[in-house]
């Protein structure tokens, strides 16, 4: 039960964070699949230069998402998490 509450809160934080990311430009080299046959599978791409940013692919277009302050994107969880658990190794991490 606690894990489900954690996931719900984490999802709400990520959803709220994506609204604040509207004015962040998409980085060069971020490419989403154009023809995604299974739209139930979410494609997310971590930023190559910022641990606190990731991209969600929406019909072939990358949409910028920003983790809440102090959190990093975790490729393993496909969500924002504490830096010690996300294990982002970029030098430019926020």
More confident residue, 9 or 27: 27
**Mean pLDDT for the stretch of residues 9-34:** 65
pTM reported for the whole predicted model: 0.68
Q: Give the pLDDT confidence score for residue 2 in this predicted structure.
A: 58
Pick the CATH number of 2-86 from 2.30.30, 2.170.140, 3.30.1360, 2.50.20: 2.170.140
Q: Do residues 30 and 37 touch, judged by C-beta distance below 8 A?
A: no
- Domain locations along the chain: 2-86
Query: Contact 43/54 with Cβ under 8 angstroms?
Result: no
Decide: 63 and 56 in contact? Cβ < 8 Å: yes
Spatial distance between the Cα atoms of 90 and 51, rounded to a whole number of angstroms: 7
Tens of pLDDT, residue by residue over 48-82, are 999 999 999 988 889 999 999 999 999 999 999 99
pLDDT, tens only, 22-57: 567 788 889 998 887 776 788 999 999 999 999 999
């Amino acid at each position: 039960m606690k894990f489900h509450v954690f996931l719900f809160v984490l999802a709400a934080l990520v959803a709220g964070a994506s609204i604040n990311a509207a004015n962040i430009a998409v980085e060069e080299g971020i490419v989403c699949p154009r023809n995604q046959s299974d739209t139930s599978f979410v494609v997310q791409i971590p930023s190559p230069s910022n641990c606190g940013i990731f991209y969600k692919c929406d019909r072939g277009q990358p949409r910028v998402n920003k983790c809440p302050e102090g959190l990093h994107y975790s490729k393993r969880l496909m969500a924002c998490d504490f830096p010690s658990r996300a294990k982002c190794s970029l030098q430019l991490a926020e």
